Structure 1
Amino acid sequence: MDRLRQVISAGSGIIHYEVEKHRHIGEALETFHKTNAEAIVIIGGQALAAATFEFLLEKDPFAGKVPPLAILPAGDNNIIAENLGAQSASPHRELARLLKVRKSGQLLTNILSVPLLKVEGVYGVGTVYGLYLCCGEVTREKNIFSGAIAGSGLLSRAKRRLSTMGFIRRASMKARKDKGMDSAVRVNLNQRGAVVGRYFMVCITTLRAVLLGAQLPAPQKADKLQFMSVENTSEALLSMGKQLLKGQFDDRIMPGQVIKQIAHARIVQHKPFVLDGSYFEVEKNGELLISSTDRLSFISL
């Protein structure tokens, strides 16, 4: 935190709030509204981002004109920060880079306008807002969601490639052993019938990079959610692995893999799931309802 304070003190035109209680978020947003903030920078992980989303959508402190949001890495949300252009897992470095971009007048050049996920059925919470949800066997690999951010350098790319190959090997070996249906996931998309299966991964997001930096095809409709599922079979995982190494998922029919845009989904399963890098439990009935919200704007560095 001291390094962040040093970066902030060296800048200009910055209103800095250190949030200790939930109500402080609302106070901060009201202040930003009154001062016509150019952008809002969130430094504090999934919980702070989700609470901020909740205030913005349910309280509407900006009267529908929310400034662009920047989400910096904080450990549990690294998968989101990397999606939005972070090049390292150090929040003070990313903040310094963001302020440098602002000084050059390019801060609002690359803006991503997307809806959020509204996730209902979260144990102990009820409803949580986010950008990325994932369930299935892949959630056992915790470093996938909160691990190091791959930079643009050759060494970083080589490390990401090696970790991807190791990830694929482990997943394939486990899939050969797992033949039961005790961890089955029930998926219902757009209320058009349900499918029950053994899934390695079921992911719903409004971002492009879905796993280890590999990107989904460009969405055709900006107000829809991106859905991807991969069955927990050796054939499907091998196909997925090839796409991961390319860094791009194919926009065509692949074995055991589905990619499509949806309006909402109902997922029934009883294991922990990941939302924006953090782990959550489902209610006793195991049912999650996922829908889209109004769009918010995010700064993509």
Structure 2
Amino acid sequence: MPSRHATTEIAADGARPAPLPTGPRPRVALLSNPRSTGNIAQLPRIRAFCAEHPDVFHYEVEHAHQIGDAMRTIARVKPRLLVINGGDGTVQAALTELHNGGHFSGDAPPVAVLPSGKTNLIAMDLGIHGDPVKSLERLIDLARSGLDSSLVAREMIALSHGDDGGKPVIGMFLGGAGLADIMLYCRNRIYPLGLPNGISHAITAVAVVLRQVVGLKAKFLPPEPQHLKISLLKGAAISGKFALLAVTTLEKLLLSGELGTQGGGSLKFVAVEQRPGSLLGAFFASLRGRLGRSKLSGVHVEEADEISIEGDSSVILDGETFHAAAGRPIFLRRATPLSFVRLAA
């Protein structure tokens, strides 16, 4: 049932458009996905918080196809800050709509992300963690006092197949090859067990060691990576089976600090060949914050403005799965940067 508070609306199939606030202009627009993992428990507190703060315009969506309507309504509200309350998949859908929708007459408002999903890579990169209500309260205070000192620009990844004529999908972290297989294994085989996230990720880590390092083959383990061809704009192509493939615009990648990348592009690219020595070398270099700062056999760390991935394999961009195929590669290009709010520790 939709909330009756003037600045909150739950969008569902067949629901009426969200009512615009009749009072002062809201400083913050909050876009929530009630189905995100963290929101199952936290959303009642967030709704109660918004009901007590008339300068928050709260819009809830249950499906990705409703985000376009949400953005059209939020654009009419003209908030100073857009806060996305959902997992990485919700963030990806919202960023895609911001990039492609053209709903805001000028620049889109700065974006902040609450940690409400299972991985929350984007929220962690922006220094937003812990209790989402307390984070929302801090963000409202910033919107009141001034956001300039907390704003950071982030490049975006634009994913397309290059020949379908469709609008690109926008995100910030892509996993492919063995990494995508591991992410899908965790999502489809481990999460359904209903275990806490920490235990689920620990089980997945053990499975990765058994499969990638020990070389054990079994049906209950992730599959062997498929052969891929990866090409960087104005760079040589690399081919083979990769235990890990990641492309990101985030400042931190996996366990590493800033990557020691080369090439001068905006997309940070890491590929680790399917060899135990290469995987272990990359792992320990990442622990020391040295990934990409010295050459390791079978470990490729670069920067580029355009990357193509070709082969029979899946990639995952901020939670959404796409499939590359022979003769129909996936293209990754830099997209227009967006402003995000980063909270100090």
Which of residues 242, 245, 252 in structure 2 aligns to 1:199?
242
Q: How does 1:79-158 map to 2 (within 5 A)?
A: 79-88=121-130, 93-103=131-141, 105=145, 108-121=148-161, 127-142=168-183
**Alpha-carbon contact 2:264-2:304 (below 8 Å) kept:** no
Identical-residue share of aligned pairs (%): 22
1:299 and 2:341 correspond: yes
**Alpha-carbon contact 2:114-2:128 (below 8 Å) kept:** yes
Which of residues 49, 53, 56 in structure 2 aligns to 1:11?
53
**Alpha-carbon contact 1:76-1:277 (below 8 Å) kept:** no
Q: Which residue of 2 aligns with 1:153?
A: none
Inter-CA distance 222–298: structure 2 relative to 1 (3 Å threshold): farther
Q: Which residue of 1 aligns with 2:94?
A: 52
**Alpha-carbon contact 2:125-2:250 (below 8 Å) kept:** yes
Superposition RMSD in Å:
3.9
CA deviations over 1:71-127 (Å, ceiling 9, x no partner): 223325522222222324xxxx224323224326475533221221111139x9874
Residue aligned with 2:243, SS: strand
CA deviations over 1:2-41 (Å, ceiling 9, x no partner): 2321232233410111125666533433443343311111
Segment drifting more, 34-43 vs 74-83: 74-83
Output the CA distance in 1 between the equivalents of 2:132 and 2:186. 18
CA deviations over 1:118-149 (Å, ceiling 9, x no partner): 11139x9874211111112123333998899x
Q: How does 1:255-270 map to 2 (within 5 A)?
A: 255-270=297-312
CA displacement at 1:166 relative to structure 2: 4.9
Output the CA distance in 2 between the equivalents of 1:61 and 1:77. 29
Output the CA distance in 2 between the equivalents of 1:114 and 1:94. 22
Unaligned runs of 5+ in 1: 149-157
**Alpha-carbon contact 2:311-2:325 (below 8 Å) kept:** no
TM-score, length-scaled by structure 2: 0.68
Q: Which residue of 2 aligns with 1:173?
A: 214
Which of residues 311, 314, 321 in structure 2 aligns to 1:272?
314
Q: Which residue of 2 aligns with 1:234?
A: 276
Inter-CA distance 11–254: structure 2 relative to 1 (3 Å threshold): farther
Q: Relative contact order (alpha carbons < 8 A, sep ≥ 6): 1 or 2 greater?
A: 1
- Structure number, greater radius of gyration: 2
CA deviations over 1:215-271 (Å, ceiling 9, x no partner): 332778997111111111122112112123335524232222122210101111212
**Alpha-carbon contact 1:138-1:200 (below 8 Å) kept:** yes
Output the CA distance in 2 between the equivalents of 1:72 and 1:103. 15
How many residues are matched? Answer: 284
Segment drifting more, 181-190 vs 196-205: 181-190
Output the CA distance in 2 between the equivalents of 1:75 and 1:21. 15
Output the CA distance in 1 between the equivalents of 2:167 and 2:82. 26
TM-score, length-scaled by structure 1: 0.77
Output the CA distance in 2 between the equivalents of 1:11 and 1:144. 41
